[in-house]
Structure 1
Amino acid sequence: MSQLHVVCPHCHTTNRVREADLEHAPDCGSCHEALFTAHPVNLSATAFERHITRSDLPVLVDFWAPRCGPCRMMAPAFEQAATTLGPRVQLVKVNTDEAQGLGARLNIRSIPTIALFVGGREVARQAGAMGASDIVKWTRAQLVRATTAV
């Protein structure tokens, strides 16, 4: 039975979870909160690094800013996509106004931009607002592409 590393959205502790238990609402071993909330998690630059580098699950990131109209329009769609893609994909949000260094390092030039990270590296990126079904389709297609390229 395979075990996965999953980073807690609340305390950012790395947990070992049996793959078969992902669908059964596992809790964090440290803070005892739910590991999967069916909602995107807002991350700082430091927490982002921890989630990207320590999670065995794919991480879909919405790079956004509160001043951005298209970002605010896409927020409900990203929230809805989290209910469909979770718990097999972690959805997180990074405010590029608060994490400017991270945005610059990752060369985020327009917002909203979604990026998919697998195994600690970026495998795909898409700029522009999208609807929930498009986010889900795009993510699933990129995951297939990323797993067949290995």
Structure 2
Amino acid sequence: MLTVCPHCQTINRVPAERSANDPTCAKCKNALLDGQPVELTDANFDRFISRTELPIVVDFWAAWCGPCQMMAPQFKQAAERFKGRVIFAKVDSDNNPRAAARFGIRSLPTLVMLRGGAEVNRQAGAMQTAQIAAWVNNAAQGS
């Protein structure tokens, strides 16, 4: 499967059976699927979501948003749970308005699950780790 390096944007081919074994980028040698949320920007958003074959859960958030701040550690824990199976990404919608506008983000936080660059599910509002995990599982089964 293909995955884009969150550090240098190189497209890497990772055997599916090795996705949970801490693969590294062929170019920059940084971790590809380390179970940590990836920061996406307007500059790298399209390449990352369109060329990565794993499902991607994007948290659209803002620094001024209290519920976003409360959910951040929960989102990080969920990312760790799905290491190697689902990529979790964060987009600061204030600093990256094109990515937020592309998905019509109107409330924060909003989670969007993507596959092949296309939206397959969405959930607005802050959630706990278990709720995020349940939503990801349900969204992944429905796609």
> C-alpha deviations, 1:35-71, integer Å up to 9, x for none?
1222101111121111110001000000000010000
- TM-score, normalised to structure 1, is 0.92
2:41 to 41, 44, 47: 44
Aligned to 1:68: 65
* Unpaired stretches in structure 1, ≥5 consecutive residues: none
Q: Could you list the structure 1 runs, at least 4 aligned residues long, displaced by more than 4 angstroms after superposition.
A: none
* Unpaired stretches in structure 2, ≥5 consecutive residues: none
1:143 to 111, 119, 140: 140
- TM-score, normalised to structure 2, is 0.97
1:102 to 95, 99, 122: 99
Measure the CA separation in 1 of the matches of 2:63 and 2:93: 9
- The CA deviation at 1:100 is 1.2
Measure the CA separation in 2 of the matches of 1:57 and 1:87: 8
Measure the CA separation in 1 of the matches of 2:38 and 2:14: 19
Measure the CA separation in 2 of the matches of 1:105 and 1:118: 15
Which letter does structure 2 place at the counterpart of 1:11? C
Aligned to 1:131: 128
> How many pairs were matched up?
143
2:20, 2:33 within 8 Å by CA — same for their partners in 1?
no
Q: Does 1:19 align with 2:16?
A: yes
> C-alpha deviations, 1:92-127, integer Å up to 9, x for none?
000000011221221000000000001220000000
Larger helix fraction of residues: 1
- The CA deviation at 1:78 is 0.2
Give secondary structure in 2 for the equivalent of 1:46: coil
Aligned to 1:80: 77
Measure the CA separation in 1 of the matches of 2:9 and 2:49: 11
